Chain A
């Protein structure tokens, strides 16, 4: 087993278009919550305001024509990660590289960055403006980025966009308002809007979870077509590991703000290495399963204000060892491109480090909502 340095991003098969190195995001707590949590924290951290440790030291590379899925439960930091990647949020520390070049911090270069990286949000019922029609939604990015002039060329560009997301015949959709469209059609308009500036990276945050079950596949297949046809690097954020397996080339599993496992999609779902990934897979609905699954690692995610030291999964982990409560596990290569951040993969632990520890108490306290 080789141990990889923390700064090395997981390898992709193509050129990384967008790379995150050791991204960390802490949200300071304000008001009453700060007072309470601050007292809690005072024992451990001494002075300083309490923070929500939303994303901790995450490295990720998005390659051309590849779908990377980030899988995790609510509160795992996956949406915060997407917002960091499209620069809606400024990271506490860490670096973004676009096309191999560091992205300047602050507001500089925002528009050129937006031409490279676009985002599709979860809820197409609230991400489209109800008082504007489809033409307006698609014309705005074209105008703002100087991709088309008002007039005939604008209409041609909008028609082209609608055709790219399979809303045809386009003239039937161009004058419609969001309420006249179905959920799937709305999400297609939202995707078309993201495609308007011809981005090379598309960040899709739970793009199908608000849609009717019967039309989810249509949107996932559209993303797959865009990956292939337009060679987009796509980040697919989801809580549904089966859909990640379906769509993605690479799966990244997050727990409580940290990446616990990443690798080729089928390797992660078929030979999961991290105890949390195994728990997630055993809990996922599976019609082929005979009998009820054995859940190993019951309970709930920890508070992100006072996360457990070491591996954040250790209080629930059935295999927890002394070292797990002391040190954050680095990523260990378990196969080609398959990395598990778990001390079980280390082969040079001392007997004291490897001593098993009992999972904490019956159930951890409910975690604070970090939204």
Chain B
């Protein structure tokens, strides 16, 4: 049950569909053809008793009724080729494929209808690093060619800094910071982002002791009052224990996130009433990544103030 907020999908400039208000019929058309998803566990997302060919053509049959059987088969073979799998694998069952191939099939399936938005929920977490890297490379090439927007969900911040344009950091159900990838990595503004960054040992340079973040993530049934991060925050002030900070826009020169969005953080240290500690006020680096070309960039669904609670 979604208890508040809205999700806007912008199929073309000027038009907006509120996905939460939309009826089943509208959603049925939009799902997969406009917005598709890649799950973490391909083994459980794929049907074990159907060949991958029949699972790929199933999507086409449902959404492209005009397409004949031969055309569906040809399209399925094209999709597999796109993710680097030979077409003779169409008859294979999921258990006959390696983990990396199964994940590639999931990506091919998500791209079958050329959606505008692809949501990827930990798509490579279960894979070995070499396979992960190969799939990410393919994904980035496909994104450049087809122009879809990717929402990449992962716990691996060091990977995200490498591949993402813009990063939104979540903690205990809330967004706490959003910034361009390089800005977040070099100049975090929220203490949780700073803590996360110091939780990943580096591959180069002198070895130094890192601290991570003290304590554990909170129980979502008993969230702390005020800022949800305050029990683990070394900068916590009195105000943090009582007042919940809103996600506010920060004036950081050059620190704007991709897509023209301003940089935001939800922290009382950044509300401008007092200078923030030096490590949370590092000047942001100039943008190194060119913004996505506007001609192909599809507006991602925006979800302002979405709230969901589970009884």
What secondary structure prevails in chain A residues at the interface with B?
A: helix
Supposing A245-B201, A366-B97 touch, asked if A239 and B128 sit within 8 A by C-beta, the answer is: yes
Interface residues on A, range: 35 or more
A285 at the interface (CB under 8 A from B): yes
CB of B235 within 8 Å of the partner chain:
no
Which residues of B sit under 8 angstroms from A297, Cβ to Cβ?
130
A213 in contact with B155 (CB, 8 Å): yes
Is there an interface contact between A280 and B129, defined as CB atoms closer than 8 Å? Answer: yes
| B202 engages A279 (CB within 8 Å) | no
Instruction: Judge whether B217 and A284 touch: CB under 8 Å.
Output: no
Q: Which of A271-300 contact B (CB under 8 A)?
A: 279-289, 292-293, 295, 297-298, 300
7 shortest interchain CB distances as A-B pairs:
A217-B212, A366-B98, A246-B201, A182-B216, A287-B161, A285-B159, A73-B128
Interface residues of A in 323-371 (CB under 8 A from B): 363, 366-367
Contact with A along B57-84 (1 / 0, CB 8 A): 0000000000000000000000000001
In the bound complex, CA of A281 to CA of B213 (Å): 26
| Given A183-B216, A300-B131, residue A286 in contact with residue B196 (CB < 8 A) | no
The proximity string for A residues 243-256 relative to B, scoring 1 for CB distances below 8 Å and 0 otherwise, is 10110000000000
Q: List 27 A-B contacts (CB under 8 A).
A: A73-B128, A183-B216, A213-B196, A213-B199, A216-B212, A217-B199, A241-B203, A242-B200, A245-B207, A266-B207, A283-B133, A285-B129, A286-B162, A286-B204, A287-B161, A287-B200, A288-B202, A288-B204, A293-B133, A295-B130, A295-B134, A298-B130, A300-B98, A300-B100, A366-B96, A366-B97, A366-B98
Partner of B162, one of A212, A270, A285: A285
Note all chain A residues with C-beta closer than 8 A to B134: 295, 298
Neighbour of B203 across the interface among A74, A216, A224, A242, CB < 8 A: A242
Q: Is the C-beta of A257 less than 8 angstroms from some C-beta in chain B?
A: no
**Nearest chain A residue, comparing its CB with the CB of B201:** A246
A285 touches B216 (CB 8 A): no
Q: How far is the CA of A288 from the CA of B201 in the complex (A)?
A: 12
Chain A residue numbers with a CB within 8 Å of B22 are none
Query: Is A221 interfacial (CB-CB < 8 Å)?
Result: yes
Asked whether B23 is an interface residue with its Cβ less than 8 Å from the other chain, the reply is: no
Considering the chains assembled together, what is the distance between the CA atoms of A366 and B86 in angstroms? 13
The answer to whether A214 has its CB under 8 Å from any CB of chain B is yes
Chain A residues contacting B100 (CB-CB under 8 Å) are 300
Residues of B within 8 Å of A239, CB to CB, are: 128-129
Residues of chain A within 8 A (CB-CB) of B196 are: 213-214
Known interface pairs A213-B155, A283-B133. Does A270 touch B204 (Cβ–Cβ under 8 Å)? Answer: yes
Structural contact, B158 and A292, CB atoms closer than 8 A: no
A366 to B85, CA, bound (A): 12
Contact A281 B203 (CB under 8 A): yes
- The reply to whether B210 and A217 form a contact with Cβ atoms under 8 Å apart is yes
Question: Does residue A215 face the partner (Cβ distance < 8 Å to B)?
Answer: yes
Q: Does B222 contact A (CB under 8 A)?
A: no
B97 near A221 with CB under 8 A, answer no
Q: Interface residues, chain A, CB within 8 Å of chain B?
A: 73-74, 182-185, 212-218, 221, 224, 239, 241-243, 245-246, 265-266, 269-270, 279-289, 292-293, 295, 297-298, 300, 363, 366-367
A212, A221, A285, most chain B CB atoms within 10 A: A285
Closest Cβ of chain B to A332, distance in Å, is 24
Contact with A along B187-208 (1 / 0, CB 8 A): 0000000011011111110010
**What 16 new A-B contacts, CB under 8 Å, besides A218-B212, A239-B129?**
A73-B128, A182-B217, A185-B216, A212-B216, A213-B156, A215-B216, A221-B211, A241-B203, A242-B202, A242-B203, A245-B203, A280-B130, A284-B129, A287-B158, A297-B130, A366-B98
Within 8 A of A (CB), among B113-167: 128-134, 137, 140, 155-159, 161-162
B260 at the interface (CB under 8 A from A): no
Q: In whole angstroms, how far apart are the Cα atoms of A246 and B206 in the complex?
A: 10
Q: How far is the CB of B123 from chain A (nearest CB, A)?
A: 14
Q: Is the CB of A289 within 8 A of B132?
A: no
In the complex, A285 Cα to B159 Cα: how many Å?
A: 5
Bound-state CA distance A239–B127 (Å) is 11
Residue of B nearest to A286 (CB): B203
Is A246 touching B210 in the complex (CB atoms < 8 A)? yes
A14 CA to B207 CA, complexed, in Å? 21
B221 lies within 8 A of chain A by Cβ: no
CB distance from B76 to the nearest CB of A (A): 20
Assess whether A214 is in contact with B199, with CB atoms less than 8 Å apart.
yes
Contacts of A366 in B (CB 8 A): 96-98, 101
Closest to A269 in B: B203
B132–A283 contact, CB under 8 A? yes
Within 8 Å of chain A (Cβ to Cβ): is B214? yes
Partner of A214, one of B131, B203, B212: B212
| Cβ contact within 8 Å between B158 and A285 | yes
With both beta carbons as reference points, the residue of chain B lying nearest to A285 in the complex is identified as: B159
Give the residue name and chain of the A residue nearest to B182 (CB): A287
> Is B212 within 8 A of A74, CB to CB?
no
Q: Is the CB of B199 within 8 A of A292?
A: no
Assuming the contacts A214-B195, A217-B210, A217-B212, asked whether A243 and B201 have C-beta atoms less than 8 A apart, the reply is: yes
CA distance A288 to B155 in the complex (A): 18
Chain A residues with CB below 8 A from B209, complex form:
221, 224
Query: Which residues on B sit within 8 Å (CB–CB) of A243?
Result: 201
